[in-house]
Amino acid sequence: MWIPVRDEWDGVPGRLLTEGAFLPKPLPSDVVLSSRTHRALADAQEALGRLDEATVRLLDPSALVRATQVREVQRSARLDGISTALLEVLVSQLPGVRPETAVEPAISSYLRAGDTGFAALDAGVTDHVALMSSVAAAFAGVDTAGTDIWRTDHSWLGGTDPFLLASPPGAASRAAFEQFAAWSSGETEIPVLAKVALGHFFHEVVRPFRHGNGHIARLYVGLELARSGVLRGQVLPLSTWIDRNLTEYRARIRRLADEGDYEQWIAFFAEGIRAVSRDELLLITKLEAAHEALHRKLSGRRTGNIRKVLTALIATPVTNHRQVAELHGITTKNAGDVCARLVDAGVLHRLDEKPYAKAYYAPDLLRLLSLTDPMPTRP
SS3 annotation, 327-338:
HHCCCHHHHHHH
User: What's domain 14-22+32-282's superfamily in CATH?
Assistant: Fido-like domain (1.10.3290.10)
Domain with CATH 1.10.10.10 in the chain: 284-370
Quote the CA–CA distance of 156 and 216 in Å, as a whole number: 15
> Is pLDDT at 58 greater than 80 in this prediction?
no
What pLDDT, on the 0 to 100 scale, is given for residue 256? 97
The 10s digit of each residue's pLDDT in 123-144 is: 999 899 999 999 999 998 887 6
| 262-297 helix and 363-370 helix, angle to the nearest 10 degrees | 170
Q: What are phi and psi of 156, to 5 degrees?
A: -145, 160
The pLDDT-based confidence of 86 (bands split at 50, 70, 90) is confident
- Cα angle value 298/304/306 (rounded, 5°): 45
Among the residue ranges 71-80, 234-243, 260-269, the one predicted with the least confidence is 71-80
Position 310 scores a pLDDT of 86
Give yes or no for a contact between 39 and 45, defined as CB atoms under 8 angstroms apart: no
Alpha-carbon Rg of the chain, whole angstroms?
Answer: 22
Closest CA to 166 of 178, 154, 153, 149: 154
Rounded to two decimals, the pTM is 0.88
Asked which of 34-38, 220-224, 280-284, 288-292 is least confident by mean pLDDT, the reply is 288-292
Domain with CATH 1.10.3290.10 in the chain: 14-22+32-282
Say what angle helices 332-344 and 304-312 make with each other, to 10 degrees: 80
pLDDT in tens, 171-203: 889 999 999 999 998 888 899 999 999 999 999
Question: Each residue of 251-300: pLDDT tens digit?
Answer: 999 999 999 999 999 999 999 999 999 999 998 888 888 888 888 887 76
301 pLDDT exceeds 70?
no
SS3 of the chain? CEECCCCCCCCCCHHHHHHCEECCCCCCCCCCCCHHHHHHHHHHHHHHHHHHHHHHHCCCHHHHHHHHHHHHHHHHHHHHCCCCCHHHHHHHCCCCCCCCCCHHHHHHHHHHHHHHHHHHHHCCCCCHHHHHHHHHHHHHCCCCCCCCCECCCCCEECCCCCCEECCCCCHHHHHHHHHHHHHHHCCCCCCHHHHHHHHHHHHHHHCCECCCHHHHHHHHHHHHHHHCCCCCCCCCCHHHHHHHCHHHHHHHHHHHHHHCCHHHHHHHHHHHHHHHHHHHHHHHHHHHHHHHHHHHHCCCCCCHHHHHHHHHCCCCCEEEHHHHHHHHCCCHHHHHHHHHHHHHCCCCEEECCCCCCCEEECHHHHHHHHCCCCCCCCC
Round to whole Å and give the CA distance between 303 and 205: 53
* Whole-number Å distance between alpha carbons of 119 and 139: 14
**pLDDT value of position 249:** 97
End-to-end CA distance of the chain, in Å?
58
Residue 16 confidence (pLDDT) above 60: yes
* 356, pLDDT greater than 70: no
pLDDT digits (tens, 9 = 90+) for 144-157: 656 689 998 889 99
Phi/psi region, residue 11 (left: phi>0; alpha: psi -120 to 50; beta: rest), is: left
Contacts of 229 (CB under 8 A, 6+ apart): none
- How far apart, in whole angstroms, are the C-alpha atoms of residue 129 and residue 199? 13
Of 41-50, 230-239, 290-299, the one with minimum mean pLDDT is: 290-299
Tell me the one-letter amino acid at 32: V
Question: What mean pLDDT do residues 215-240 have?
Answer: 92
The C-alpha atoms of residue 299 and residue 112 are separated, in whole angstroms, by 38
- Per-residue pLDDT tens digits for 318-349: 899 999 999 899 999 999 999 998 998 889 99
Determine the pLDDT at residue 76: 77
Four-way CATH pick for 284-370: 3.40.630.30, 3.10.20.30, 1.10.10.10, 3.30.930.10: 1.10.10.10
In whole numbers, what is the pLDDT of the chain averaged over residues? 87
